[in-house]
Amino acid sequence: MEEVREVFWNIPEGPWIVYTLGIIAVVIFLYAIVARFWLVWRRGQPEDRLHPFWRRIGAFIKLGIVDGFIHRRILRQLYPGIPHLFIFWGSVFLLLGALLDFLSHYWFHFLVGNVGLAHSFFSDLGGLLFIIAIVIFMVRRYAQSPGAFHERLDRSRDDAISSILILGVVISGFFVEAFRLAAIAPGTQEAAWSIWSPGGLFIANALSGVSLGALLTWHRILWYFHVLFTVGAVIYISLFYSKLNHIITATMNAFFRSREPEGALTPINLEEAEFFGVGEIGNFTWKQLLDVDACTRCGRCQEVCPAYISGQPLSPKKMIQSLKDHLLEVSDYPFLIRPPETSLLLSDDALGENSTSRSLIGEVIPEEAIWACTTCGACLDICPVYIEHPQKIVDMRRNLILEQAKVPELVEPVLNSIEARGHVVIGTVHSRTEWEEGLNIRHLSDNSDADLLFWVGCQAALEDRSIKIAQAFAKILNAAGVNFATLGAEETCCGDPSRRLGNEYQFQMQAMKNIELLNNYGVKTIVTTCPHGFNILKNEYPQFGGKFEVIHHSQFIAHLMQEGKIQLKSGLDKKITYHDPCYLGRYNDIYQPPRDVIRAIPQVNLVEMEHRGSDSFCCGGGGGRFWIEETKGTRMSEVRIDHVQETGAEIVATACPYCMQMLEDAIGSKGVGETLKDLDIAEMVAMSMEL
């Protein structure tokens, strides 16, 4: 059977031109990757992101299917997710088409008959999908009216050059095909096959009056243009490290992605470390530098960042771009295209010739940006190239606190309180065990055979409003006949505030002290009402040998309900919405149990906010922000209360003492306390149980 189309038709000299230029392009492409590694990423500190190797390979394949082929993460925003899906599959069809052409022409001759026709059709389809998507992206970037949506994008020379180059490659390819089809004699088998090349045929129909000689000449001219443009595009993308290089860096970032739980920060080896945290760009690990380099400036992280949305001086996108700009400058990378200046945190004036000497903290990344983050993880969760923002922010905080002894004014007393009194509730008039009065609660010291340790947490033990959460949960446990105990006065801070604020030294002291205590009691299972304590006990204590089964109270109450150990008596005839805490939902995937608990209460009408689940909006209290006053913009907690009020809810249900206090404060400051109340899910269940 005949090949469907002759490769290098009308271009007898085609093979040696294509293969010579192709080899040059491949060499430059490989050189660029090696140069990038050698000059840029290698500046970072060593970090093992290869092991466990086979588990990593397995995870990479899974991620490739889910986030690559199916685009799950990118399609969380249908626009621009769908055009990106078009580009992805368009590229796959085009590149695969070219590869199959090459293999079939020289070796296997399999592009014949129906297989050849399918190959023609899918190559054309790929090109059409590609053009549609690029045009949509160009309209979006250059023609769309300004507004909140457009604000997430910026424009660089690279955006324009990349778009024009790849559009030129695909369009010129269609024209080459069109002139070939127009020159084919009507009535031949090849002419009949042209219907399987709809893109080329569409243009060819417009060339019906052109003479054969002119068609052949123009076909040759366009072929040369197409080949040179393609090779030029590859060289540009490679050397100038265009944003299109994210095809490589995003793939690498997916492969080297952290295998630790998302809620776990990396520990510092305090005994061996030569520096603490990150005070200059080379203090980041090589993977963190690859991360920074992989950013495509898509703006998704900025669009979901509660700090940015509420007007705080932080944009995760701008932070990553500022790091990238600084990294490339200090790396002496020879083919540098700087990110657009609109991406930088600093004013244009601060970007002078001498910018390589700028200090990372203060001049590249302002301190106020570093302290504005709540470590909510929304950026991490949405970034399509898997950039890990919160760890970088905490690393810079570690440098500020441990190397420079710079602590925000309001935070210092909190860290001092942890050190002196083992808790974060400054000015409390309560003792650790006062909340237990009248509840018949035993301590591990006198009930070491308890099945469950209730880790109460600083807020629920010592803060007036949150004490009610601990009391409600203890009443539920007692009513359900659970054999539990607390640590009583032996409990101290879990260390979460210390760690997120950057005081890794204090965190490790707290963690090791607590782990020793828990291990001495032989504790196996722990329940917490606080997602921060839950996350740190579950995901970070194992870094220091503390391996426990850790359960959040929402999960435990849901479990008791399933077992029939909870008798709900009274109804709660209210419209209720549920606020997902970041450290429960986004970091630990616990979305359903709290909702199951709320729905189980008779007469409850549960309504959802627009920003819920993994798209929840931080209350503003995470990452130590609970103690730092928001002096700019709107308070994040007030923005969240706006979300609550949009649902018409009369109660906002929470499952975190920090969220509860942040939201209650905002209810007070917005003056909506008459119509809106805040209740922890344990309080709601205890009320319904009439405890």
Which residues sit at the interface with ligand SF4, rule CB under 6 A? 295-301, 305-307, 314, 316-317, 320, 373-379, 382-385, 387, 389-390
Minimum gap (Å) between residue 376 Cβ and ligand SF4: 4
Nearest to 683 by CA among 576, 537, 565: 576
Write down the least CB distance from residue 379 to ligand SF4, Å. 3
Answer yes or no: are the C-beta atoms of 318 and 341 closer than 8 Å: no
Is the Cβ of residue 97 or residue 624 nearer to ligand SF4 in the bound state?
624
Residue 441 near residue 506 (C-beta atoms within 8 A)? no
In the complex, what is the shortest distance from the CB of residue 162 to ligand SF4, in angstroms, rounded to a whole number? Answer: 15
- Whether the Cβ atoms of residue 566 and residue 685 lie closer than 8 Å to each other: yes
Q: Which value, to the nearest 10 degrees, does the dihedral of the CA atoms of residues 117, 122, 127, 133 take? A: 160
What are the tokens at 164? 């024009």
What is the residue type of 412?
A: E
**Minimum distance from CB of 369 to ligand SF4 (Å)?**
9
Distance of CA 83 to the CA centre of its chain: 20
Helical axes 246-255 vs 286-294, angle rounded to 10°: 140
Smallest gap from Cβ 72 to ligand SF4, in A, equals: 15
SS3 214: helix
Q: How far is CA 188 from the centre of its chain?
A: 55
641, 647, 650, 652: CA torsion to nearest 10: -50
Residue 46: CB minimum distance to ligand SF4, A:
23
Residue nearer to ligand SF4 on the CB measure, 378 or 460? 378
Which CB sits closer to ligand SF4, 388 or 491? 388
The smaller minimum CB distance to ligand SF4, of residues 294 and 527, is found at: 294
CB of 88 to ligand SF4, least distance (A): 15
Structure-block tokens of residue 235:
């060289």
Integer Cα distance of 673 and 186 in angstroms: 80
Cis peptide before 52 (omega within 30 of 0): yes
Q: Which tokens hold the place of 458?
A: 């600083």
Whose Cβ is closer to ligand SF4: residue 183's or residue 372's?
372
Shortest distance, position 457 Cβ to ligand SF4, whole Å: 22
Six-digit token string for 148? 């909140």
Residue 387 is classified by DSSP as -
Cβ contact 537:453 at 8 Å = no
CA distance 37 to 43: 9
Phi and psi angles of residue 112, each rounded to the nearest 5 degrees, phi first: -120, 160
Nearer to ligand SF4, 287 or 317 (CB): 317
Beginning with the edge strand found earlier in the chain, give each strand of the sheet holding 677-680 in spatial order: 605-607, 575-578, 651-654, 677-680
Structure tokens at 243: 């944003």
For ligand SF4, give the closer residue by CB, 319 or 470: 319
Closest approach of ligand SF4 to the CB of residue 647, in Å: 23
Q: Residue 279 or residue 339: which is nearer to ligand SF4 going by CB?
A: 339
CB of 638 to ligand SF4, least distance (A): 16
Q: Which helix (H) or strand (E) holds 269?
A: none
Residue 263's closest CA among 536, 567, 648?
Answer: 536
Nearer to ligand SF4, 227 or 369 (CB): 369
The encoded tokens of residue 234 equal 């590859």
Distance of CA 177 to the CA centre of its chain: 42
Taking the least distance from each CB to ligand SF4, the nearer of 1 and 148 is 148
- Considering beta carbons, is residue 378 or 560 the nearer one to ligand SF4? 378
CB 36 within 8 A of CB 293: yes
Give me the least distance between CB of 176 and ligand SF4, in Å please: 34
Instruction: Report the SS3 class of residue 652.
Output: strand
Q: Residue 298 or 681: which CB sits closer to ligand SF4?
A: 298
Cβ burial, residue 586 (10 Å; 0-12/13-18/19+): buried
Cβ burial of 352 (10 Å; 0-12, 13-18, 19+) is exposed
Min dist. Cβ of residue 416 to ligand SF4 (A): 25
Give the nearer residue to ligand SF4 in terms of CB position, either 337 or 517. 337
Nearer of residues 339 and 546 to ligand SF4, judged by Cβ: 339
Q: How far is CA 286 from CA 39, 48, 291, 556, in A?
A: 11, 10, 9, 41
Query: What is the smallest separation between the CB atom of 463 and ligand SF4, expressed in angstroms?
Result: 23
Q: How far is the CB of 312 from ligand SF4 (least distance, A)?
A: 8
Round to whole Å and give the CA distance between 662 and 552.
Answer: 20
Nearer to ligand SF4, 320 or 684 (CB): 320
**For residues 5 and 455, what is the distance between their CA atoms, to the nearest angstrom?**
72
3-state helix, strand, coil in the chain (%, to 5): 60, 5, 35
CB 386, min distance to ligand SF4, A: 8
